[in-house]
Chain A
Amino acid sequence: MDWQHLATQLFGAEHGIRRDGDFLHGEVSFDGEMLTVLGTTDHAPIGVQLALAQARVVLDTVARHPGRALLLLIDTQGQQLRRRDELLGINRAMAHLGMCLDLARRRGHRVLGLVYDQALSGGFITSGLIADACDAVPEAEIRVMRLPAMARVTKLPESMLAELSKDNPVFAPGVDNYVAMGGVRRLWEGDFQAALRDALAQAPTVDRRAEDGAARGGRRHAADVIQRVLQAV
């Protein structure tokens, strides 16, 4: 979905969110409370620069506005696939962004992710997946790779992967699969303002995704394995 359309639905036509290249940022008022909004658009590849631009906004919010909630608007094709970014340490820049968001959480900021368009692998790990909770719009696309690419990498027939995907959310792309596995908490349907209100009111500070995945039947082993490690003699 278009970011302007989303921003207008949530915060009105005068929302105050700016776009600089693929980078979105702004301070918005919602229910009389200020929020910091940051994210990307146009399926942005996340390279060193874009990771740092987002980290800057997080650090400024922590320094200047203690406790203010952060809303991450996610639309990315994944990490920037360039030699320059690897040379400059893209993994370190991504870790930095994730650690900035983690620090914000530890200092009492709510950190909410919203996949409003597309979320892929490396671009998602240090945004929505490091948030307190990540929600999505129903038409969002979340994946590591599509089935044809997965068939090539795994050297398994695509038809077999497609068949297995019907019952096992681990294999196939799709926002519903991420909900079933606990990676996405819930989908925003209908009234987006009400959905954001709920999200701000319910920002868990502990990681419950493995339990959610088990309860929803999409990730049946992770929570059990974690418990077995804790109980092992």
Chain B
Amino acid sequence: MISFSECSARERLALLLDADSFHEWLPPALKLTSPHLAQLGVPASFDDGVAIGRATLAGRPVFVAAQEGQFMGGGVGEVHGAKLVGWLQRALRDRPDAVLLLAESGGVRLHEANAGLIAVSEVMRALLDVRAAGIPVVVLIGGTGGCFGGMGIVARCADHIIMSDIGRLAMSGPEVIEASHGVEEFDSRDRALVWRTTGGKHRWLTGDCDALVEDDVSAFREAAIAAITALDASHPVTLERLEAEHARLSARLDFQGAEAIELWAALGLPDAARIPDLDVAAVTALGAR
């Protein structure tokens, strides 16, 4: 077992995809760095924190991208975002069997915030173009940095999300909420609280992710293969589907409170207080609500 969370973005790609099948576009050798970080005197990365390319997965042609959480928290800057947009536009042109995004990002890179914000919205539109063309988009979330901010929105625009219990999917980080509304609103140092509010188990139980796996690269690989096999085409975004989504999300507002254990109990899950202690298999067995 190799920990997905402890791998770098490139290690994840090497282990997740068919051996030696990853072909990278704009690789680090081209030294495509952020000009804005250079202006600030901040160290740059030769891939601006994201690797993009094509590969095969179980023999099928796929496009893959992986964000590097160790560089600027996976934050989306101008170049990083444009690489993702170009990669998605290329998918629209070349029509791979599926598009896989290994997301690990705090969202917009604050050092180049304005460009990053626009870039995230461009990624979102390009992703929805890919889906509309019938190409399924799968997002994998298992890095220690989680998937936050605009990338948390982008992830939920995909067909399918695979998470580990270490993975987190949300909008604002707990530190930001604590800074804004106080430690009694969200204690960012209470790891158990943070994970039961935004972690993979909670997202699985509420249907915010489609597969929950162990923090293991081969488990992610198996789940990704299962996803692209099941998703022969993207689920089209139709009015009927969005109405169903609307009803589902509206029903959530009936719950009054902010505590995950109370929410799980309200969903009818047995022994809700013990869920954080269960392993992935046991949580998976509880089923999504």
- The answer to the question of A129 belonging to the interface, with a C-beta cut-off of 8 Å to chain B, is yes
- The answer to the question of A215 belonging to the interface, with a C-beta cut-off of 8 Å to chain B, is no
Given contacts A103-B242, A221-B78, contact A145 B121 (CB under 8 A): no
Which one of A25-33, A52-60, A195-203 is at the B interface? Answer: A52-60
Contact of B36 among A98, A160, A168, A209 (CB under 8 A): A168
B14-54 interface code vs A (CB 8 A; 1 in, 0 out): 00000000000110000010011001111000000000100
Instruction: List A147-189 residues whose CB lies under 8 Å from chain B.
Output: 150, 153-154, 156, 160-161, 164, 168-173, 177-178, 181-183
Question: Closest CB-CB distance, A15 to chain B, in whole Å?
Answer: 27
Q: Which of B40, B153, B242, B259 has the most CB of A within 10 A?
A: B153
- The answer to the question of A93 belonging to the interface, with a C-beta cut-off of 8 Å to chain B, is yes
Separation of A85 and B255 alpha carbons in the complex (Å): 11
Residue pair A124, B249 in contact (C-beta under 8 Å): no
Given contacts A125-B150, A225-B83, contact A86 B113 (CB under 8 A): no
Residue pair B52, A219 in contact (C-beta under 8 Å): no
Contacts of B116 in A (CB 8 A): 144
Contact of A125 among B83, B153, B202 (CB under 8 A): B153
B240-254 interface code vs A (CB 8 A; 1 in, 0 out): 001101100110110
Question: Closest CB-CB distance, B53 to chain A, in whole Å?
Answer: 9
Which chain B residue shows the least CB distance to A128? B121
Contacts of A143 in B (CB 8 A): 113-114
Contacts of B286 in A (CB 8 A): none
- Seen from chain A, the residues whose Cβ lies within 8 Å of a Cβ on chain B are 48-49, 52, 55-56, 59, 62-63, 79, 81-96, 98-100, 102-103, 106-107, 121-122, 124-126, 129-130, 143-145, 150, 153-154, 156, 160-161, 164, 168-173, 177-178, 181-183, 207, 209-210, 213, 219-230, 232
